[in-house]
Amino acid sequence: QVQLVESGGGLVQAGGSLRLSCAASGSIFNIDVMGWFRQAPGEQREWVGDINSGGSKNYADSVKGRFTISRGNAENTMYLQMNSLKPEDTAVYYCAASDYGSRAYDYWGQGTQVTVSS
């Protein structure tokens, strides 16, 4: 139904910045919330933040003030601007989306690796 593809991951020095992109395709008409998650090796998947169709945003405390979620000029794109990166931010980052009325995320991307070196 819906396909999500992340891009923009890579290796960056601590204190640097990186911008991740998420492109949605397929039957995207009912998508309300789009969000970012991350998962470090051996750890649970962690919610990073989200944005809904009205533009409201929420962030995890661990990234608040450093990361910014936005939707691009194309409505089927979402970005995660990551500033002041820390080694603790190293993880596979996943794009996710949920339909209107859903209390859970219904679609997931394949993930993109972000590595922050010290």
Residue 97 CA to residue 73 CA, distance in Å, equals 18
- Of 114 and 76, more confident: 114
| Residue pointed to by tokens 């998508």 | 31
Residue 78 CA to residue 43 CA, distance in Å, equals 25
Tell me, what's the pLDDT at 1?
Answer: 84
Per-residue pLDDT tens digits for 52-107 = 989 999 999 999 999 999 998 777 899 999 999 999 999 999 999 999 999 899 99
